[in-house]
Copies of this chain bind each other. A is one copy, B any other.
Amino acid sequence: MIRTAAALAASLALLTGAAIADPPAPAPPPNPTAALLAAAPASDWAKIDPSDLLVMDLARGGRVVIALAGGFAPAHVANIRSLAKAHWYDGLVIERVQDNYVTQWGDADGKKPLPKGVPLQLPAEYDRTASGLAFTPLPYRDTYADAVGASGPFPAAETGDAAWLTHCYSMVGVGRDLNPDTGTSGELYAIIGQPARGLDRNIAVVGRVLKGIELLSALPRGTADLGFYANPAQRVRIARVRLASDLPAADQPRFEYLKPDSATYAAWVKLRANRQDTFFLRPAGALDVCSALPPVRAPKG
């Protein structure tokens, strides 16, 4: 459940096969980050409202859940909500998978009109003012920004009075053409490789995949320009896209994230930056923004 961040935290060892197979198996090494999270008080976790979760079900099975970042790209997120409510995305496809870069989905032929009332031209919400933003900086330097850290469940950066979401693995943005006002939210992409920080402040970032990123990252790479699938038969069909709040209660995914301004998050960052696990001989002494995405989990109880 705790995907990007904790999947990494859990994998302390690049084990040889022998350690897995040879009896008697050694006890698994203790996982201090998992223990820290398990011990956190309930008040250190914040529930994500179901109306801020976008659910994408693939026709062949598999569910992707995305937390929406309305505080950073309100007009783009409003369009996503409208398109989901109109069932506009249903039947569209994953059309592009470019290695170490992005998986993109939408209207592959560019022929499907938006529903009436959904604006075609949106403001260039590529950054926002830092004033008024809940932002917890990391105590480590970044290559690109004056400060990096977290805002709600999202990785974020600040320079001067500008703030923006950073293009880390699993982050979701809105495809556009060369003109900045051409992104409608009809085309979305997720980062499936190294951080694409050069895109920061050049495109609208609208969310983070909380679940199912491997359904996007493990797809065959496209062989046409920019990783588009050369053969339309390779496209992966999307059955439906809904806000979680529009699904029956029993089918609603539920998530909460570790609050970046909690003591547990601060301790978690420090622990990950200074690993003392059995595998690590030399702690890094630092943690980059894309390794510090706030952990998420299913709510308890």
Contact = CB atoms under 8 A, between A and B. Distances in A.
Interface of A: 3-4, 7-8, 10-11, 13-22, 26, 28-29, 95, 97-102, 104, 106-111, 124, 126, 140-144, 168-170, 173, 175-178, 180, 182-184, 186-187, 189, 193-203, 213-214, 217-221, 225-228, 272, 275, 278-282, 284-288, 290-291
A11 B284 contact: no
A278 B178 contact: yes
A112 to B, nearest CB: 9
Number of identical protomers: 2
- Interface hub of A169, A193, A196, A214 (most chain B Cβ within 10 A): A193
B11 A226 contact: yes
A99 B16 contact: no
Contact of A99 (B18, B20, B218): B218
Nearest to A5: B100
Contact of A126 (B99, B203, B221, B282): B282
A197 B106 CA distance: 34
B21 A111 contact: yes
Given A16-B182, A16-B183, A214-B221, 14 more contacts: A11-B227, A14-B175, A15-B187, A17-B108, A18-B177, A21-B111, A99-B217, A100-B217, A143-B287, A144-B284, A168-B194, A194-B290, A197-B284, A202-B281
A126 B281 contact: yes
A176 B15 CA distance: 5
Nearest to A184: B16
19 contacts: A8-B100, A11-B102, A14-B176, A21-B110, A21-B111, A28-B225, A99-B214, A100-B170, A143-B143, A144-B286, A193-B193, A194-B194, A197-B284, A198-B287, A200-B284, A201-B282, A202-B282, A214-B221, A218-B219
A280 B202 contact: yes
A227 B3 CA distance: 13
A107 B226 contact: no
A67 to B, nearest CB: 17
A297 to B, nearest CB: 17
A101 to B, nearest CB: 6
A201 B217 CA distance: 28
Nearest to A285: B144
Tell me which of A108, A110, A213 has the highest count of chain B C-beta atoms within 10 A of its own C-beta: A110
Give 10 closest A-B pairs by Cβ, nearest first: A18-B110, A17-B110, A14-B175, A99-B214, A143-B288, A169-B194, A21-B110, A214-B221, A16-B187, A201-B282
Nearest to A289: B143
Contacts of A126: 281-282
